Amino acid sequence: MEVKQLYTGCLSEAAYFIASEGEAAIIDPLRDVDVYLQMAEEKGVKIKYIFETHFHADFVSGHIDLSQKTGAPIVYGPDTHASFPVHVAKDGEEFSIGKLKLKVLHTPGHTLESTCYLLHDEGGAPYCIFTGDTLFVGDVGRPDLFSGNLSKEELAGMMYESLTNKIKPLADNIIVYPAHGPGSSCGKNLGPETSSTIGAQKATNYALQDMTKVEFIKAVTTGLNTPPVYFPINARINKEGYASLDSVLQKGLTPLGITEFKQMTSEGAWILDTRPSTVFTSGFVPGSISVGLDGRFAEWAGTLIPFNQPLVLVTEAGKEKESLTRLARVGIDNVQGYLQGGYEAWHSYGERMDLIIDIDPDELAMDIPHDNLLEVIDVRKPSEFDAGHVKGASNFPVETLMDPLNVAMIDDCNNLYVHCAGGYRSVIAASLLKREGYHNIRNVVGGFAKIKLEKGIEIVQSEKV
């Protein structure tokens, strides 16, 4: 028996590979399925089933491509309605993988079709459970994402029944393998580990403690942040289907010369620069949006870029395919090509360039007392801002800068000092402001993590904290 977790950090997503006696199953695959095909080939096993725990909202799954390439059926739990062929399993239905058995446990709550899969080992003993977004380490799936007309309170009530009747009765030693780890927006506050046990979760997970249904509903529906805007789009894509990744890559991997690149941008294509944020600031093609591969790239791309928006890419050499693949993971498929030779080619041809001035927090500390036009733009989440911020700072979370009405609230006569928590989001924000014609911008390197250590900068909390 082999059970392997395949974790993708930038999406906080876990897929799983199960193998026994020449047969394999994949649970919650990402859209780029080559890794699963390669594993199966290396281990000499045939992929027999593709199991989905639910219609994912935070990424486009690889279920359709993987099924087409292997012939394996796609299995969802009860109450599933899809636009492509699937096996809708019954609650309690069992599937064999070599000498292993995988049992379906329908656990609605996160979504109506949400399902966990309980794996029994060669001896028939329950070994682990793949919980999808029903149960995380330290949390449960949020009930407000994508379930038709049901309220979050109604779904939370279903979640209570699912946990009480299906999860809590399981033995303490059973391993818990969730679909997500820390940083995922599919829960409120996931723990730092990507696996656990039923016993550990009974002891430490707030949602598995003894409480009434009313108390549970209040606990899981309180404190939910607004989900990323691309979540309902990805959920719909997973339910309705999508173009093959091979076709997306074929189109996007078109090299563009300077003339072609400029022609496409003049016709409305946006420029997405995926180089590291620390590299972008020193020079970029004017009008570019910076979303570096060095951070939570797919999440920010999905949040900021409209799904029907034509794109052209500027990447580091050799990062073209990675950029396209990670965009496709959140359903962004409309890439028309990439700048051949990257920014270096653009610069060497003498084309107009732009840059963002980087400063350290000590320079901000020196400027605050003397610059009457200084404005600190804090682009962190409101909860981060409320917990502590530079006195007098304005809070403009990154995603709000896509709205011209919000941007118009920033005085373009001021000297703007932009920061986030560590430096990644502030470069995204600065690039968005540059696109809107703001040029008196300073990016504070190291973000609030370093700003709060600077003695000359006063830090305050919001009154509601």
Beta bridge partners of 255: 338
- For 2-233, CATH gives 3.60.15.10
Q: What is the pLDDT of residues 261-310, one digit of tens each?
A: 999 999 999 999 999 999 999 999 999 999 999 999 999 999 999 998 99
Pairing of strands 311-314, 389-390: unpaired
Question: What's the mean pLDDT in 58-82?
Answer: 97
Q: What is the pLDDT of residues 301-340, one digit of tens each?
A: 999 999 989 999 999 999 999 999 999 999 999 999 999 9
How does 27-60 read in b/e, with b if 16+ C-beta sit within 10 Å?
Answer: bbbbbbbebbeebbeeeebebbbbbbbbbbbbbb
Q: What is the pLDDT of residue 464?
A: 65
Same fold, 2-233 and 243-348: no
Mean per-residue pLDDT, 16-30: 98
Mean predicted confidence (pLDDT) in 46-56: 97
Level-2 CATH architecture, domain 243-348: 3-Layer(aba) Sandwich (3.40)
- What's the CA gap between 101 and 15, in Å, rounded? 18
Give the fold, CATH level 3, of 357-460.
Answer: Oxidized Rhodanese; domain 1 (3.40.250)
Reduce the DSSP state of residue 128 to 3 states and report it.
strand
What does 183-207 look like in DSSP terms, one character per residue? T-TTSSS--S-S-EEHHHHHHH-GG
Report the pLDDT value the prediction gives residue 31, as an integer from 0 to 100: 96
Q: Which amino acid is at 225?
A: N
Rounded Cα–Cα distance for residues 245 and 239 (Å)? 16
| 410 neighbors 377 (Cβ within 8 angstroms) | yes
The listed range with the strongest mean pLDDT (140-154, 162-176, 357-371) is: 162-176
Domain ranges of the chain: 2-233, 243-348, 357-460
